[in-house]
Amino acid sequence: MSFKLLLCAPKGLPDHNLDEWPELLKKEIPGINVEVALSEAEAIEAIKDVDAAFGNINSGIFKHAKKLKWISCPQAGPPAGWYHNDLVDSKVVVTNTREIYNDHISAHVLSFILMFARGLNRYLPHQLVQEWQNTPYPVIHLPDSTVLIVGVGGIGRESARLCKSFGMNVLGSDPRLKENPPHVDELFHPDDIEDPLARADFVVSTVPETPYTQSYFDKNFFDKMKYASIFINIGRGATVVLSDLNDALRSGQLAGAGLDVFEIEPLPSTHPLWTAPGVIITPHIAGEGPYLPKRRTELFIENCKRFSKGEQLLNVVDKQNWF
């Protein structure tokens, strides 16, 4: 079937090749009608008569939609408030871009693990003051270590594969799964997470921000982790209570943390995590890498084809849980 599509330029997001998409879509999908909105005012006018839309469709735009059936979210985990009540309560289907970042983010996870395992985070401060420190720091032998991956979706599964390739014992926790995914030795429901927490040398969070995961990693969680273990977060910043994490690091309960996302971004220069012992900070760049525009374009065009044929879309979101 032919349908009308709105491309709403995503404010503040990286290039999504929107300039190229209209011609690509018309070539791939006969009969498609594509409109591009470069402002909220243009989007409000255009959305009144479209069947589908790509972009950040806020509540002010959404309330003017009369026949909208599908929104393609330009991110895997959009900012808080993207899933507004009117959208959640509607029959509009939402898809996202999860899966296109799996290899890049998983490589970032493994980079954190290797840095901590070899003590590189401890040698770096000596380098900054030109100090030759040849008394070796303790090494974590990865084949003798255990990693717990909280959230075993696409990124979690690829992280599990990489960890397993280094001989690690891999545990997973995910409420959606009933059977162990490949490369995961043991799977736990979040309600039963205390046992694996007490065993894991590394705890990796890949979870998205949902009503359930907001502030999930707090003092209670860190207190249950194995003493002097490592916490890694490449999921979403709002899942971690930063003040509790800072306390756990400074008390010695945790030996280190690899952090790419934060509940406050940019992380203020005065925040105590900058100087907390054993912390490696990257500025929300774990997903960076080649081929993302190509993957995003291919995913969106495939879903447009499916929508035109009335077929099941890829990456459909549970709107109640935002993912």
Same domain? 134 vs 66: no
Q: What is the pLDDT of residue 200?
A: 98
Structure-block tokens of residue 47? 């959305």
Domain range spanning residue 92?
4-99+290-309
Yes or no: say if 312 and 33 are a contact pair by the CB < 8 Å rule.
Answer: no
Same domain? 108 vs 177: yes
Q: What is the pLDDT of residue 9?
A: 78
Q: What is the pLDDT of residue 80?
A: 81
Give the C-alpha separation, 30 to 26, whole Å. Answer: 6
Q: What is the pLDDT of residue 65?
A: 98
Question: Residue 321: inside a domain, yes or no?
Answer: no
Beta bridge partners of 202: 147, 230
Q: What is the pLDDT of residue 251?
A: 98
Same domain? 167 vs 86: no
Identity of the amino acid at 70 = W
Structure-block tokens of residue 139? 């090494």
Same domain? 90 vs 107: no
| Residues whose CB is less than 8 angstroms from the CB of residue 188 and which lie 6 or more positions away in sequence, other chains included | 171, 172, 173, 195, 196
Q: What is the pLDDT of residue 305?
A: 97
Could you give the 3-state DSSP secondary structure of residue 93? Answer: strand
284 an active-site residue? yes
Positive/negative CA dihedral, 265, 270, 273, 278: positive
Whether omega for the bond prior to residue 266 falls within 30 degrees of 0, making it cis, is: yes
H helix count then E strand count, the chain: 11, 12
Lookup result for tokens 């901590």: 116
Question: Residue 316: inside a domain, yes or no?
Answer: no
At 299, which CATH number?
3.40.50.720
Same domain? 9 vs 153: no
Same domain? 65 vs 110: no
pTM of the entire structure?
A: 0.94
Structure-block tokens of residue 1? 């079937």
Q: What is the pLDDT of residue 14?
A: 47
Other beta carbons within 10 angstroms of residue 279's beta carbon come to 19
Q: Residue-wise pLDDT tens for the chain (323 aa)?
A: 789 999 997 554 445 667 789 999 999 998 999 999 989 999 999 999 999 999 999 999 999 999 999 999 999 988 888 999 999 999 999 999 999 999 999 999 999 999 999 999 999 999 999 999 998 999 999 999 999 999 999 999 999 999 999 999 999 999 999 999 999 999 999 999 999 999 999 999 999 999 999 999 999 999 999 999 999 999 999 999 999 999 999 999 999 999 999 999 999 999 999 999 999 999 999 999 999 999 999 999 999 999 999 999 999 999 999 98
Q: Total structural domains in the chain? A: 2
Characterize the bridge pairing of strands 146-150 and 93-95: unpaired
